[in-house]
Amino acid sequence: MVKVIWTDQSIDDINNIAEFIAKDSFKYAQIQVNTFFDLALLLEKSPKMGRRVPETNDDSIRELITGSYRIIYKIRTEKEILIITVHHSSRLMTNNPNI
């Protein structure tokens, strides 16, 4: 089983997303946050389930897409995945310095 590690940046991203959604609906903010964490759990058994991030030429940088969001992660080793950022798909990746 692969260990999934959330960076401080990815947790900050989720908190910011939740705060934004909660302005309209606390319930949907909770649902979205739970979705992020539930998807990341799937990576423990299937680390390559996400597609390669098209903006990079690095096969180890992959993403899971959920709704309007991209959970971007890096396969560091066969035993470790690093969640780099959670990014809204309408924003350009060039605006995200973490990739």
If pLDDT is split at 50, 70 and 90, which confidence band does 14 have? very high
Whole-structure pTM value: 0.89
pLDDT for 94: 62
| Proportion of the chain in helix, strand, coil states, percent, rounded to 5 | 35, 30, 35
Contacts of 71 (CB under 8 A, 6+ apart): 10, 36, 39, 40, 50, 63, 64, 65, 83, 86
Instruction: Classify domain 3-88 at the CATH superfamily level.
Output: RelE-like (3.30.2310.20)
Question: Would you say 39 and 58 are in contact if contact means Cβ atoms under 8 Å apart?
Answer: no
Side chain identity at residue 45, one-letter code: K
Q: Is 45 helix (H, G, I), strand (E, B) or coil?
A: coil
If pLDDT is split at 50, 70 and 90, which confidence band does 82 have? very high
Report the chain's mean pLDDT, rounded to a whole number. Answer: 92
pLDDT for 11: 97
Q: Write down the residue that tokens 């690095």 correspond to.
A: 58
Structural domain boundaries of the chain? 3-88
- Let me know if 87 is exposed, middle or buried by CB neighbors in 10 A (0-12, 13-18, 19+): buried
Q: What is the pLDDT of residues 34-75, one digit of tens each?
A: 999 999 999 999 999 999 998 888 999 999 999 999 999 999
pLDDT at position 98 over 70: no
Lowest mean pLDDT among 54-58, 74-78, 82-86: 54-58
